Every structure is written in structure tokens, then in C-alpha cells.
Chains A and B, each alone.
Chain A
């Protein structure tokens, strides 16, 4: 029996065997599928943002002018789907599904995830959720106009009586399925991390990436059911005559907003926390120093996760809340700046006294730290309800959340991608192209999003297909920034093509003595089943 299992373990199925992927129970294969899925979704989500920047390049209607791309409603659909796709189908699958699946078991010395078959379902639900979301763009949404154009927050009554077509129902279904996928994944990660650490790896010796995923999946587990509840109420309000959110039936649209943001605020930390973990490893590896203040770093993430649940109404300062309640949310929100500051300073302290090598992942990580700081300080501005009254729902907010998401989370993903690329695929990449990608991304992202602070201060509202002529200049600059970023994207694909064509065999550990976590003790790529003998942690 055991001899049988051993011979079975040795053989790696061919990558051309469909069963290896469709029936996969291997955390590394599933992780790879998540990463490829995220790239695919990212292309679509990024394409939609291209349409929007094209539209906004000049005053007037360029793209959504009743021609091929549809009308102003379709701009709103593009905005909505861009937001949803980037969040649910790009960043989350890449960070948690992709890197989480790959490296949580490897870093804790486990042979696989706790529930390998559930892992398979978690992944395979996603493409179906995505198909439903894409389908929703092509069925009637509001009247004859196709798709749902009510923003990623799906506020009623616009998402109920404002969109009478089936597009919104498909979207609800899509998000339900994506939610189930994430909840199953969360259960899997929690069980794996609590039960499958190698002997000697106490919770306080766990690598910070594992910590970050642990906090993230707890946030998922606690917040997604609330979203599911709100979505279900939307569904019944739309189809079965209930009036949870309909004032004419005694319901309250603001209650939806409370439910949504009780999920939505933790969600933004779900998007960024795994990035914190990734950045910690990269900074430590290339400084050749252990991470500064390990315990502080771990518990800063726990604190951020906890506070993340008690600040939700800072997205709702203008709904007419009692002023004392607003004051509470101001105070609670500003508190988050403290653990966030601890993280930034600890990264810099890790580099301090180090012997820093500027390899590709390190460049992305340093870019991340700077850009996340910019997004962080504008967050402190917005936390103050008094100022938010001027900036809420303007491009200032768009700039703020893209600094933490589009530049923060995405830079962390690319940092992780180039840190672990050779480990995952077993081949080297062209670091010149990868650095050029970084350069164009860094410049491009800043040119896109920095001027949007000015637009917001000048009063340009978000989700606008066309704007007053006084906003023309910075919009044009912002759209040129997109072109710069597009060039960076071209280098991303060049890196991929180059790696596929040249197939230079990767080393087990390309980064040297600074790379101390368990995944670097294995070959690149690691064997199909690793740690048949559990590693011992001193």
C-alpha cells in the first residue's frame, strides 16, 4: 500500500493531460490556474479601463456615443465591470488563490492544502462566476440598454427598480458564486494553517506571508456572508416583491449601504494584506536581513484586520448619518493609520543596515512602499468627514483608491510574480524586460492617477462619462499615462514570451542567502508532491 503510494507520487502528469487541470487536487497546479485566470481577467478589466480613459481623454463623447461601443449607459457598465472584475477576478485570485495556494503550504512545510478537492471546487467555481459576469454585459440591463451600470457597490434603488433587466440578476448570481468560491478557499486556508504546519513551526515562527493570508481569509470568512445576505435581499427585492431596501414598502436604501460596506471595507484590506506579506519577504530577502520587528508586523496585520471591521461607514459620510456617529467613524478610521505606519517604517528599518541588491522584485517592492504611502496619506485626508464632504465621490477618491489598489496591490502582485516566477515555472525570465515593465508601470501609473487628485479637488465627480470643460487638461494627461502603462504591459508579455521560448532552467534559489523561507529549499519547480518527509524547524 505505502510502496504503491510512493511510486504513484513520483509521477508527474503531463501538462497536456486535461485531467491534470480539470480534476486537479494539487495546490501548485491550482495556484497556477488561479494565476493564469487572474492574468486573463486582468486583461479584460484593464481593457475596460482603457475604454474609459479613451472616453475621458477629451471633453465630449468619443467612445460611448451611440456607435459601436454603445451609449453613456455602457460607460457606466464599463466602470462597474472594470471595478468588479479587477477586485473579484484579478486581485483576489492572484493574491489568495494564486500565491496563497502556491506558497502557504510550501512555507509551512505542508504537503498540500487541507482539503485538496475543495480547493478544486474553489477554483472551478470562478470561471463560471466570471462567465456570468461577462454575460451580464450583453443582456438587457436598464430598459433596452445592455448590462448593469450601477457601480461596483450595486446601490439600490438603482440596482433594483433602476435596472429592470436580467443583467443585474446575472451579476448577483455571479457574485454569489464567486463568494462561495472564496468562502471555501478561506476555510481551506484556515484549516491548513492551523493544522498542517511542520513540526517546530509555531504560530510565531510562521512566515509573514502566511500570517497575511491567515488574516485575509478570516476577513473573507466573516465579511462575505454579509455581502451574500445583502445580495440575496437585492435579488428578492427585484424578483419576489420584498421591500428590504424599497422606501415605498417601508424599507431603507441606506441599510443596504451599511450591509455592503460592512463587507466592502474589509474587502479592501483583503485586497492589500497578502501584498503586505509578499513585500515583507522581498524586502527581507534582498536586504539580506531578517524582517525588522516580526511580531509587530504580524500583529499590525491582525490589528488592521480587526479595525477594518469597525470603520465601514466612512464610505457613507454624505448619506445623512447623525453627526456623533460620523465622529466615531472618523476616529476609528484614523486609528488604522497607526498599524499601517508601523508596517511602512518596519520595511524601511529592514532595509536600514542591510546589503540591498536591486533585483527585479525589489524594485517593485520599493515602488510599492512609496506608492502605498501616497495612497495612505490621502486616506487620512478622506477619513476626516469634514473634508470628505468636499471630496466624496470625486476623482480624489478615484486617485486615492487606485494608489492603494491599482498601484499598491498590483505592484505587490508583480513583485510576487517576479519573486516567485522561477520557483513556479522552473524557468528564468529576462530581468531587463521585467525592469522596463516596472519603469513604465511606475511612471505610467503616477501619470494616470496623480493628476486625478487635482481633478477631485476641482470638483470633478466620479463615474462621469463626460465632464465640464474646466477638467479637460488633467484628464488628457491622465489618459496619456494609460498609454505609458500599456507599453509596460507589452514588456510583461515580452517577459512571458521570452521565458517560454528560451526555457532557461531555473535554480532552486536564485536569490542567495537572504531567501530563508522553505520554498527555496525545494527545486524549481518543486516536485509534484513535496515534503513527503516533513521538514523540521529549529
Chain B
């Protein structure tokens, strides 16, 4: 049995923390889930930003509707219970009311549709891309290829728990991550070699099925340098939960050096590690 008191204290602490987070949006590290948080991971691409804006609008619609229905229910419970209202009315029609509760929801849906369709087309229409990456899902790892840089296919496996290095995340970190220059517009082609997988990156607002026999396309443009984690999002077998995606958005120079060093090798990893360390110290000095 778990220790109840400990659990309860953890619960209360986390609850307090959560509310603070919810109010301020603080404490959220971009690119990964933050324990106890309530909303999206911070957005780092134009698509994710627009998804969040639209979702905020939706919250402004659905929360009031839910509260409205709850309010109506409470009101009838208080006002029309048998004590308060011993003789029921017999009315069972009200044309005006019925027209209103048909028409008003239609209007609300129109309000939702107006931003919804532009967002959909914005996600789908791939702008002029700087280069293309091809991602292939395998049972149970990803591979990446950069045709424009002539980087051949290299494989990206999850780091097992016992091999985790300082700063790596359980179930999220991989041995050879995907690297892109921050600010570059990347066309992503996704496919699979065996069963269906899904290349999903919450901070980018990207999610695309990897289907054998077909190539799906999407795009992203990472606005800020950093490390971002995602996970396979289509059930693909026993190790579905263990084929994560790790993307490093770096400076153009670091990216070029990484390509030079030969992605999928320890040398290339060293380039990125060095770059990350330099960035860390730079950020630390800023504080």
C-alpha cells in the first residue's frame, strides 16, 4: 500500500503548485511535459501558436457553456423541487425557446468555424521550405534522412533507463536526435516501414501518421533554439511507448557542423553536446 500521508502531502503541494502555474504559466520547460500542469506545452512554432490561440478561444466558449448548463441545472433543482413547487406546470412547448436554442448554437458554431478553417489550411499548406527531412517509423524506433544535405538514413533509438546521462529524460531522450536550424522552415515527410506509427511533437503542434506505402507531408519552423521531445502517437505494438522523438533546434553554424560531422555518429553528437553546453553557460550568464 502506498504511504497515504505522503501521497496526500504531495497532492496538496502539487495542487498549490499547479494553480500557481496555471495563473502565471511559469515553471514550464519548453519541449517537455511539466508535472501537474493544466494546459499545452509552450508553443515554439507558428502552427503551435495558432493552435493555442484558437484553443483559448474555444475555452472561452466551452467553459461558459458548461457553467451555464450547470447553473440551469442548479436553478431547477433549487427552484422546482417538490417542496418549492408542489404543483407542476403542464407546459411542454415554447416555439420561441426552441428556435432560440437551435439558432444560438448555430451562431456559436459559426463563430468557431471562422478561425477553425483558416487554421486548418495554414497547417496543411506547406510554405516554401528551406529543406526536407524524411522520417520513417519502424517497430520500434525512428530513422531520419536529409536528402537536401545528402545525409543518409540514420537511426534514432530511445535511451534505456539504465543508460541515461545527466540531463536526459526517461522515455523521452534518444541516442541520435534530429537536428534542425532554429528559424528554418522544414518540410517533413513521414512514412513507415512496417505498421502505422505517428510522428508527434507537442511543442510544434505537429502530428502526422506514418503509414507504410504512403508518404505524408507536413511542416514546422522552430522559432527558438532548444531541445524538444515528442512520442509515437499511433499504437504500433509492444514498445509503442518507447520510441520517442527528440529534436534539437540549434544555430545555423552548429547545424552545418553537425551535418559535416556525419549525423548518426558520436562525432556529430559531440558537436551538438558542445553547442548545448555553450548555450547553457551563455544562458546562465544572462541570469
Contacts and interface: CB of A to CB of B under 8 A. Distances in A.
Interface of A: 59, 71-73, 76, 142, 145, 149-151, 155, 157-158, 161-162, 247-248, 252-254, 287-294, 296, 318-320, 323, 326-327, 330-331, 334-335, 337-338, 341-342, 344-345, 348-358, 366, 369-370, 373-374, 377-378, 380-381, 384-387, 389-390, 392-394, 454, 457-461, 463-474, 476-477, 480
B contact face: mostly helix, strand, loop, or mixed = mixed
Interface residues of B, number: 97
A469 B34 CA distance: 8
Given A468-B172, A473-B36, A355 B212 contact: no
A461 B170 contact: no
Given A287-B88, A393-B198, 12 more contacts: A76-B240, A150-B235, A158-B195, A323-B121, A358-B81, A381-B62, A385-B120, A390-B48, A393-B200, A464-B240, A467-B241, A469-B171
A350 B97 CA distance: 12
A477 B13 CA distance: 13
Nearest to B47: A389
Please indicate which of the listed interface residues A350, A381, A384, A390 has the most CB atoms of chain B within 10 Å of its own CB.
A390
Contact of A155 (B196, B214, B217): B196
What are the nearest 4 A-B pairs in CB distance? A247-B213, A470-B33, A459-B202, A386-B119
A289 B171 contact: no
Q: Classify the interface of chain A: helix, strand, loop or mixed.
A: helix
Contact of A320 (B116, B214, B242): B214
A355 B120 contact: no
Contacts of B207: 318, 389-390, 392-393
Contacts of A344: 69
Contacts of A248: 212-213
A262 B89 CA distance: 44
B174 interface: no
Contacts of A331: 113
Interface string B91-112: 1111001100110011001001
B167 interface: no
A381 to B, nearest CB: 5
27 contacts: A72-B241, A158-B235, A162-B237, A247-B212, A287-B88, A290-B92, A320-B216, A327-B121, A330-B117, A341-B105, A350-B92, A352-B76, A354-B80, A355-B81, A355-B85, A358-B81, A369-B73, A373-B70, A380-B112, A386-B54, A387-B54, A458-B34, A458-B40, A459-B200, A471-B35, A473-B10, A473-B35
Contact of B72 (A76, A348, A385): A348
A137 to B, nearest CB: 15
Contacts of B93: 292-293
Contacts of A460: 33
B195 A162 contact: yes
Given A247-B213, A377-B66, A470-B32, A353 B11 contact: no
B184 interface: no
B88 A288 contact: yes
A378 B200 contact: no
A401 to B, nearest CB: 15
A342 B232 CA distance: 39
A481 B216 CA distance: 39
Interface string B68-92: 0110110011001110011111111
A461 B232 contact: yes
Contacts of B185: none
A78 B99 CA distance: 46
Given A319-B211, A384-B116, A459-B41, A373 B69 contact: yes
B98 to A, nearest CB: 6
B279 interface: no
B278 interface: no
A470 B35 contact: yes
B239 A341 contact: no
A76 B235 CA distance: 9
A287 B217 CA distance: 55
Interface in B262-281: none
Contacts of A151: 235
A351 B241 contact: no
B231 interface: yes
- Residue in A323, A326, A393, A461 whose Cβ sees the most chain B Cβ within 10 Å: A461
B7 interface: yes
Most central of A247, A387, A457, A470 by chain B CB within 10 Å? A470
A387 B85 CA distance: 45
A370 B85 contact: no
Most-contacted residue by chain A among B7, B117, B242 (CB, 10 A): B117
Contacts of B198: 318, 393
